[in-house]
């Protein structure tokens, strides 16, 4: 049975929300944009608040446009927040679960996690003790794994970079970060992050309306309300028309889960997980749907842009014109000009859908590719109490002592979560203990235009291991079906080499040590 959270105050420590920057006069600006549509001149924010008569008209227009659904007017004002002491679970489940935001967030790959930096949900004494004990075990395992994998990482660095002095501060730091990258898999999704988070006014309104959702509604409500409060301090009228949050029990997701999981203590999770994994095997990301005429449609789009018939430009020539970096300079430009180039936008027509399984920590990076949308799950429906379920990084597999310690802490975490659930703790709170390694099972779709950007960037050997591997699998499957497209899909050093841009590797000191631009994707392999 899926139950709503119990009424309570907040998580501890309380998240910190600060409005760092914002558009001046956001309410007046929104109305000014609306009035400009019906004016022979541009209406300024000062115009709509000039006097009492103007302000009365302003308020009427604001209300009417909002009620009519003309919400693009409140998209113009933008708000930049600083968020601290927020959980990774909240960020993954809510903040980054849609395309309309921009965030710059502290990296667990490159910044060491401190033992006290995690969210504690409101729990009774016995449950709180179980929760804190499990978190301590995860934090201890994190530091232990950093030490256990370090010899393996050093040996691989020595193989790749024989001329480097690994005692040099730069390279000792690089080795440490690689160790942290895999050790973080044991950390709970309750672990804190801090970030800049920038959204438009319409997104803030949507946040308020739908802030109470699985998987962390308490934390979401708290943070969103603080965002609203911060905006109201600088412009009380901007949120005056905001609608109340939809109660959790009234949301579509809650009602669907109530009917589908009613009477089942463990839901249907185990059957779903087993079926999903059988269908996925042996892939991490499996191509399950695509436009069968992708190449032909893309080629015709190129010809339509140029106004030429098929006899003048063949399908192969048309595709090569767009995807060959030696011919299309936008492909090696760091500003990703392909999204605004007329010819490059022919890549918008091929379309692909993948069935995927990535760890929570890898998917937190994958979901940042906002123009390749996915339908991510409600985590409690995928949790199976009696069966630890987690992804194991290659470095852990390659280090027997680390693999043993890794398995032990996962068993500890599952026992703790099960104990909390048996005490009557809600899934919302118990699942804060889930490790970063917990698998996210989902479907992801997108067009070639945006997959191309993702694939090229994430095929770099410095990319996170899982997302790198899933992109490699995706490119190989696309290439098998569409060779004229696939032969142009390689790591970011390859387009630069084809375009004659030096150095081929754009990563500087972070160079992976391998001449990847010389390799076909089928031969890509890495340990670190």
For 197-250, the pLDDT digits (tens) are 999 999 999 999 999 999 999 999 999 999 999 999 999 999 999 999 999 999
Among 387, 340, 358, CA closest to 474: 358
- Per cent of the chain over pLDDT 70 is 97
- Ramachandran angles phi, psi of 16, nearest 5°: -105, 125
- Residue 45: inside a domain: yes
Give mean pLDDT, residues 76-94.
98
pLDDT band for position 310 (50/70/90)?
Answer: very high
Query: Does residue 21 share a domain with residue 66?
Result: yes
- On whether both 183 and 203 belong to a single domain, the answer is no
Please tell me whether residue 69 adopts helix, strand or coil conformation: coil
End position of a domain, from candidates 434, 463, 489:
434
Residue of 431, 309, 416 lying closest to 382 (CA atoms): 431
What is d(CA 467, CA 469) in angstroms, rounded to the nearest whole number? 5
The answer to whether residue 241 is domain-embedded is yes
Ramachandran angles phi, psi of 319, nearest 5°: -65, -40
Please write the tens of the pLDDT for every residue from 22-60.
Answer: 999 999 999 999 999 999 999 999 999 999 999 999 999
Residues in the chain: 528
Residue 8 lies in a domain: no
Q: Which residues of 384-417 are buried (b: 16+ CB within 10 A; e: fewer)?
A: bbeebbbbbbbbbebbeebbebbeebbebbbebb
Residues above pLDDT 90, as percent of the chain: 93
Nearest in space to 353 (alpha carbons), one of 369, 386, 333, 375: 375
Averaged pLDDT for residues 128-149: 98
Instruction: For residue 84, list its beta bridge partners.
Output: 16
Q: Answer yes or no: do 181 and 198 share one domain.
A: no
Is 199 inside a domain boundary? Answer: yes
Residue 263 confidence (pLDDT) above 70: no
What's residue 5's pLDDT?
40
In the prediction, which pLDDT does 269 show? 82
Residues 257 and 212 in one domain: yes
156 and 197 part of one domain: no
* pLDDT for residue 264: 60
Min mean pLDDT across 6-15, 94-103, 131-140, 361-370 is at 6-15
Domain range for 97? 16-108+191-261
CATH number for position 249? 3.30.1360.170
Q: Are residues 224 and 78 in the same domain?
A: yes
The pLDDT of 435-460, averaged and rounded, is: 98
Mean pLDDT, the chain, rounded, equals 95
Q: At what angle do helices 217-234 and 201-209 cross, to 10 degrees?
A: 140
Both 30 and 65 in one domain: the answer is: yes
**79 and 173 share a domain?**
no
> Are 213 and 134 within one domain?
no
Residues 214, 248 share a domain:
yes
Q: Answer whether 458's CB lies under 8 Å from 384's CB.
A: no
Residues 174 and 57 both lie in one domain: no
Residue 334: what pLDDT? 87
Q: DSSP letters of 93-126?
A: IIITSSSS-EEEE--TTTSPPPTT-B-B----HH
Mean pLDDT of 340-357: 98
Determine, yes or no, domain membership for 519: no
Taking residues 124-152, report their average pLDDT.
98
CA 386, CA 40: separation in Å to the nearest integer?
68
User: H/E element holding 20?
Assistant: strand 16-22
Q: Which residues pair with 102 in a beta bridge?
A: 198
Q: Is 193 a residue whose pLDDT tops 80?
A: yes
- How do residues 349-387 score in pLDDT, each as one tens digit? 999 999 999 999 999 999 999 999 999 999 999 999 989
Interacting residues of 483 by C-beta distance below 8 A, sequence separation 6+:
none
Neighbours of 482 (CB within 10 A): 23
Query: Residue 428 domain-assigned?
Result: yes
Is 223 inside any structural domain? yes
Give dist(CA 313, CA 309) in Å, integer. 7
Residue 39 lies in a domain: yes
Q: Are 98 and 91 in contact (CB under 8 A)?
A: no
Please give, one letter per residue, the 3-state secondary structure of 59-103.
HHHHHHHHHCCCHHHHHCCEEEEEEEEEEHHHHHHHHCCCCCCEE
180 and 219, same domain (yes or no): no
- The radius of gyration of the chain from alpha carbons, rounded to an integer in Å, stands at 25
Position 265 scores a pLDDT of 53
Task: Give the integer Cα–Cα distance in Å for 219 and 115.
Answer: 20
**Among the three residues 208, 239, 261, which one is the final residue of a domain in this structure?**
261
Q: What is the mean pLDDT of residues 520-528?
A: 96
Is residue 67 scored above 90 in pLDDT? yes
pTM of the model: 0.95
Backbone angles phi, psi at 425, to 5 degrees: -70, 140
Percentage helix, strand, coil for the chain under 3-state DSSP, each rounded to 5? 50, 10, 35
CA 357 to CA 374: how far, in whole Å? Answer: 12
Q: What total number of domains does the chain contain? A: 2
Mark which of 434, 463, 490 sits at the end of a domain.
Answer: 434
């Amino acid at each position: 049975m899926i139950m709503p959270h119990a009424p309570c105050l907040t998580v501890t420590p309380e998240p910190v929300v600060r409005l760092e920057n914002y558009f001046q006069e956001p309410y007046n600006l929104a109305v000014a944009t609306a009035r400009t549509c019906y004016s022979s001149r541009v209406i300024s924010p000062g115009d709509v608040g000039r006097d009492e008569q103007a302000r009365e008209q302003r308020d009427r227009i604001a209300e009417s446009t909002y009620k009519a659904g003309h919400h693009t007017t409140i998209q113009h004002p933008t708000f930049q927040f600083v968020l601290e002491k927020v959980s990774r679970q909240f960020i993954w489940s809510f903040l980054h679960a849609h395309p309309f935001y921009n965030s710059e967030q502290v990296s667990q790959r490159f910044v060491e996690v401190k033992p006290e930096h995690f969210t504690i949900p409101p729990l009774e004494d016995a449950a709180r003790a179980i929760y804190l004990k499990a978190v301590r075990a995860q934090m201890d395992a994190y530091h232990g794994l950093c030490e256990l994998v370090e010899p393996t990482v050093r040996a691989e660095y020595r193989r790749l970079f024989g001329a480097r002095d690994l005692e040099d501060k730069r390279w000792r730091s690089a080795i440490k970060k690689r160790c942290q990258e895999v050790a973080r898999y044991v950390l709970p999704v309750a672990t804190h992050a801090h970030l800049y988070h920038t959204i438009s006014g319409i997104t803030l309104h949507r946040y308020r309306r739908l802030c109470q959702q699985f998987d962390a509604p308490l934390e979401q409500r708290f943070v969103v309300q603080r965002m609203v409060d911060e905006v109201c301090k600088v412009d009380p009228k901007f949120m005056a028309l905001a609608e109340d949050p939809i109660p959790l029990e009234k949301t579509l997701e809650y009602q669907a889960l109530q009917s589908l999981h009613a009477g089942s203590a463990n839901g249907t999770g185990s059957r779903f997980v087993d079926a999903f994994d059988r269908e996925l095997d042996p892939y991490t990301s499996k191509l399950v749907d695509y436009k069968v005429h992708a190449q032909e449609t893309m080629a015709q789009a190129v010809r339509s842009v140029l106004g030429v018939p098929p006899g003048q430009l063949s399908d192969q020539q048309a595709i090569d014109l767009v995807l060959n970096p030696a011919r299309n300079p936008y492909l090696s430009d760091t500003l990703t000009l392909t999204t605004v180039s007329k010819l490059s936008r022919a890549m918008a027509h091929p379309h692909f859908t993948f069935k995927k399984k990535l760890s929570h920590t890898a998917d937190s990076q994958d979901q940042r590719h906002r123009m390749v949308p996915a339908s991510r799950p409600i985590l409690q429906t995928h949790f199976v109490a009696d069966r630890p379920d987690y992804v194991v990084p290659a470095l852990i597999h390659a280090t027997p002592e680390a693999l043993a310690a890794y398995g032990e802490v996962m068993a500890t975490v599952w026992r703790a979560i099960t104990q909390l659930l048996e005490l009557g703790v809600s899934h919302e709170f118990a699942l804060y203990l889930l490790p970063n390694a917990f698998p996210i099972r989902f479907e992801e779709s997108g067009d070639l235009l945006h997959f191309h950007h993702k694939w090229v960037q994430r095929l770099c050997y410095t990319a996170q291991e899982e997302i790198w591997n899933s992109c490699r699998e995706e490119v190989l499957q696309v290439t098998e079906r569409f060779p004229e497209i696939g032969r142009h899909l390689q790591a970011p050093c390859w387009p630069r080499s084809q375009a004659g841009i030096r150095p081929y590797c754009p990563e500087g000191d972070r160079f992976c040590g391998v001449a990847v631009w010389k390799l076909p994707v089928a031969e890509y392999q890495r340990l670190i």
